[in-house]
Amino acid sequence: MNVTYKNLVNVSFEELHKTFVDAFSDYAVDVSYMTHYVMENRAIKNGYDPESSVGAFNDSKLVGFTLVGIDNHYETPSAFDIMTGLVKDYRGKGIASQMFDFIIPSLKEKKIKQFYLEVLQENNAAIRAYQKAGFKINRSLDCFTLDIKKLKITEQLRIPLSFKNLDKSIIDYFETFADWTPSWENSFSAIKRIPDDVLIIEAEYSINKVGLIVYYPTLNWIMAFLVDPKYRKIGVGSALIKKLIDEINGSVDIIKFLNIQSEDEDLINFLKASGFELMTGQYEMTYKLS
């Protein structure tokens, strides 16, 4: 077996997607939605940098890859493992760790301080491998789904609201509503990088901006759900979700809301009461490069 490593500057998403299909054929979560189009747009959303990414090749055949995004996270120059895939026959041979070793010098040259990834909490083998490589668990993230038919309005609206659709370029104001830093996948900079359609709904009370919900149809998930702390528990959250469901207008039966910080008991309890069900949990893990 002659495996070599190089960056992905000259590798197309058509080729990456063919390897992805092989690599994720036995994955614990259904990834059938990940078409070539979705894979490329998700990578762009996450700041994909082919120069900092790596492919493993057996002769000329791509058998594994790590797609890397570059951005500021927690206000620090950082990198993110958008996706790592390795064809089954090539697992257990140290290739994943060699891909990681290939990436690190490039990141250090770019003055990257931290390297982030997300891993399913049930994937014990991967967690152990990442910890062995020097990653540490930073926080726990919960992932939910909602069967739209099972939506429950848990809070009756006690103030008159108006709604309007916003452009992604003007959402920065709402970052102040957040109680915790969103995951890389759901960051405001990721929302702004989305290359195709995104639905952004603002809730207003009189002249006040009181809430925001962001839904990305390509991935079918809610990326942001924020209510001004001064206007919580008076129906704004329920009204925003109801407005989103009305806007979706039956185009899907189930929507996802991923990467909610597990310590946010108020939000998680609200989601469960509203009909959301826990799908899985992830760990955000961090490797310090300096």
Domains of the chain: 3-112 (3.40.630.30), 143-281 (3.40.630.30)
The contacts of residue 41 (CB under 8 Å, 6+ apart) are: 194, 195, 196, 218
| Terminal CA-CA length for the chain | 34
Instruction: State the pLDDT confidence band at 282, using cuts at 50, 70 and 90.
Output: very high
Instruction: State the pLDDT confidence band at 213, using cuts at 50, 70 and 90.
Output: very high
- Phi, psi for residue 216 in degrees, rounded to 5: -110, 105
The pLDDT of residue 145 is: 98
pLDDT (tens digit per residue) in 38-89: 999 999 999 999 999 999 999 899 999 999 999 999 999 999 999 999 999 9
Indicate the pairing of strand 254-261 with strand 221-227: parallel
Q: In what order do the strands lie in the sheet with 136-147?
A: 3-6, 54-58, 61-73, 76-86, 114-120, 276-288, 136-147, 254-261, 221-227, 208-216, 199-205, 162-165
Alpha carbon of 150 to those of 48, 49, 225, 232, 255: distances in Å?
Answer: 36, 40, 19, 22, 11
Q: What is the mean pLDDT of residues 246-275?
A: 96
Residue 30 confidence (pLDDT) above 80: no
Residue 126 confidence (pLDDT) above 80: yes
Query: Whole-angstrom Cα distance, residue 11 to residue 60?
Result: 11
Instruction: State the pLDDT confidence band at 131, using cuts at 50, 70 and 90.
Output: very high
Tell me how crowded residue 30 is: count the other CB atoms within 10 A of its CB.
8
Mean pLDDT is lowest, of 32-36, 63-67, 155-159, 275-279, for 32-36
Instruction: State the pLDDT confidence band at 37, using cuts at 50, 70 and 90.
Output: very high
The pLDDT of residue 43 is: 97
- Strand locations in the chain, DSSP E? 3-6, 54-58, 61-73, 76-86, 114-120, 136-147, 162-165, 199-205, 208-216, 221-227, 254-261, 276-288
Residue 185 confidence (pLDDT) above 80: yes
The pLDDT of residue 56 is: 97
The model's pTM: 0.94
The pLDDT of residue 31 is: 81
Q: What is the mean pLDDT of residues 121-149?
A: 94
Alpha carbon of 216 to those of 94, 181, 199, 249: distances in Å?
Answer: 36, 19, 6, 14
